[in-house]
Structure 1
Amino acid sequence: MDSKLITLRPFKLSDADDLMSYAGDDQVTRSLRWKTLTTKDEALTFIKDVCIPHPWRRSICIDDRSIGFVTVFPGSSDDRHKADLGYAIAAKYWGQGITTKAIEVAISQVFKDSPNLVRLQAFADVENKASQRVLEKAGFQKEGVLRRYGYLKGNIKDLNIGEPNLLHVKLDPESN
């Protein structure tokens, strides 16, 4: 996949059908905190109530079609210097390097958009080897395992935590 074809942009209501193609897939949503969407109305509501108002949720796009998302959850109050990164992509795009590229672009953008940000961290279920590999390829270094830290669809999970090694991550990924 040519990385120049991958873009990040804010969600639009017109993304509802595209969102349904991956947020309506149990295979994709099994690692997400929210339930699988089942109708276009749910997708529209999700975009309107969650995606659009979020301070940093971007649609991963190819030819302006939404195929996934990258979200940065900023800390508040005393934690405003750090943020958590999350992501998902349609199953048909798994293993193509698209999520890795989207995360690299997100890292660059979020540090530009958030001058007080000094730490960006991501979590991956210890059982989700593919997500761990995506983070590693995007420049994240595993810092450790947080035991019984995550709660996902009724299960307590162990999560790997890591942050990008900013010495090895291009803060301007377009300047190859």
Structure 2
Amino acid sequence: MRYADGPKAECEIRIAAAVPRVWGLVSDIGLPARLSPELQRVEWLDGATAPAVGARFAGHNRHPKIGEWRTVSQLVTVAAGHEFGWAVLDTAGRFGAPVTDPAQALATWRFTLTPAFGGVLLRHSVRVGPGASGLSTVIARMPDREEHLIEARLAELRTGMTATLEGIKALAEA
């Protein structure tokens, strides 16, 4: 697996709740910060107060090996009851020239809701790249370990995604 291939991870969970209930949770940009081991807090940017394609928000993250950092994300998909997605951008130019184009994101995240018998099948996914990121920086220093580095990072992301999905399930079914 190579960074240039756009490595992906996906997790899913069945939730015994109505689509609108689950949608209300996944479209709340602050909720993952309550559930994720890495994302600590978020806030809307540019005067945005609600989800809409093009709206941006800042995410404040923490990782035991990496430390703390801030990201800027832009909503790329807001299809009520179906899909909620955002692209993480390097607007500060931490990994090269500043990036404001979602097509050059560090990563693109999505929640996808599919009605299922008795509730909802909720998928949480991420595609890493194609833009430069902390992971691509580490790979550049250790190119012979690229596959291992990607697999390790995707495993960490899956752990966080699973925690987020389990938290959404608990809230939706309560």
Quick check: TM above 0.5? no
Length-normalised TM-score, structure 1: 0.29
